[in-house]
Structure 1
Amino acid sequence: MYEPNVVGDWQEYDEPAGLRVRVHRLESGEPPRGRDDAAEGLTYFSVRVTVENRGDRPFCIHLEDGQIDVRTGSDGESAFIDWRNSRFVEGFDVYPLRRATAVLYAAGPEASLSHVDVQVQVRVDEEWADRRLWVGGIGVRETPTGTSAGGCRDSLAQQVSVFLQEQAEGGTA
């Protein structure tokens, strides 16, 4: 069964070989160019999506509008995406052992930010890579890359795995 990544995890792709993606630095904070009027009453947060090339040739990366979907709360409500403040990766050549990072500013009800899902589908050399999902939340501690999983990370990943297994078996959570 497919299990989502936890915010902070790298996801390596088989195709194209050498590509890996990471959703990280999910944190609350105001956007640099001010709030959008449509986000009145919502709490802003940001998330970074980094694409790394560990292959042997450059990849042309696109990570733009519609390729990053953010949902909040246990019901998966769509977050407000502030396109004006966000910074995307649009047709950038990522050479071997290099990275490119998109920064997305979004907003949602404060009570729902303890559960944030981020789905990413990167386009590489005009081809779509597989869609991947990361789960996390504001206030959920991210484990630094390369270290063993900590208690918060284990419990969040375990909760998501149990939920997905129950859904696959037809049960309810």
Structure 2
Amino acid sequence: MYEPNVVGDWQEYDEHSGLRLRVHRLEQAEPPRGRDDAAEGLTYFRFRVTVENRGTERFCVHLEDGQIDVRIGADGESAFMDWRNSQFVEGYDVYPLRRATAVLYAAGPEAALSRVDVQIQLRVDDEWADRRMWSGGIGLPEGTACAQPSAGRDSLAHQVSNFLRDQAEEGTA
């Protein structure tokens, strides 16, 4: 069964040797060019998406607005994405031992920001890679499951895994 990553985790792509991706630095922050009028009454946050090439060949990477979906809160409602303030990776050649990072701004009701899911479908060398998802929240510590072994049953990753497992069992019953 597919389980989401925790914000901060790296995800390797089997189909592109050495290429990996992560969503990280999920934090409350105001956009650099001012608030969008459509975000009136919402709380802004930002996160980064980093593509790293640990392989031996270069990859042309595209990470644009239609490839990112952000859901917030317990019901998974869509966050407001501020495309004007966000910075993307558009047709950039990531050479071996190099990185490219996109900085994205979004907004939502402050009460819903304790749960943030980010789903990304990267395009590499004009081919679509598999969708990947990261889960986190504003105010939650960032890191991998390996870096926080004491989190155990109460960790966000564990809760998300249990939820997805329960949903899959209900679907087969």
| Alignment check: 8 A CA contact 2:6 2:145 kept | no
State the alpha-carbon separation in 1 of the partners of residues 54 and 33 from structure 2. Answer: 34
SS in 1 for 2:20: strand
The aligned length equals: 170
For 2:102, the equivalent position in structure 1 comes to: 102
Q: CA deviation at 1:149?
A: 2.0
State the alpha-carbon separation in 1 of the partners of residues 146 and 170 from structure 2. Answer: 35
What residue ranges of structure 2 are gaps of 5+ in the alignment? none
Calculate the TM-score normalised by the size of structure 1: 0.94
Q: CA deviation at 1:152?
A: 4.9
Deviations 1:90-126 (A, max 9, x none): 0000000100000100000000000000001110000
Q: Does 1:19 align with 2:19?
A: yes
For 1:157, the equivalent position in structure 2 comes to: 157
For 2:147, the equivalent position in structure 1 comes to: 148
Q: CA deviation at 1:147?
A: 6.2
Q: Is the alpha carbon distance of 1:72 and 1:15 closer, same or farther for their aligned partners in structure 2, counting shifts above 3 Å?
A: same
Aligned counterparts, 1:1-173, within 5 A: 1-143=1-143, 148-152=147-151, 155-170=155-170
Identity %: 77
| Alignment check: 8 A CA contact 1:141 1:152 kept | no
Calculate the TM-score normalised by the size of structure 2: 0.94
What residue ranges of structure 1 are gaps of 5+ in the alignment? none
State the alpha-carbon separation in 2 of the partners of residues 160 and 128 from structure 1. Answer: 26
RMSD of the alignment, in Å? Answer: 1.6
State the alpha-carbon separation in 2 of the partners of residues 56 and 146 from structure 1. Answer: 28
Q: CA deviation at 1:55?
A: 1.1
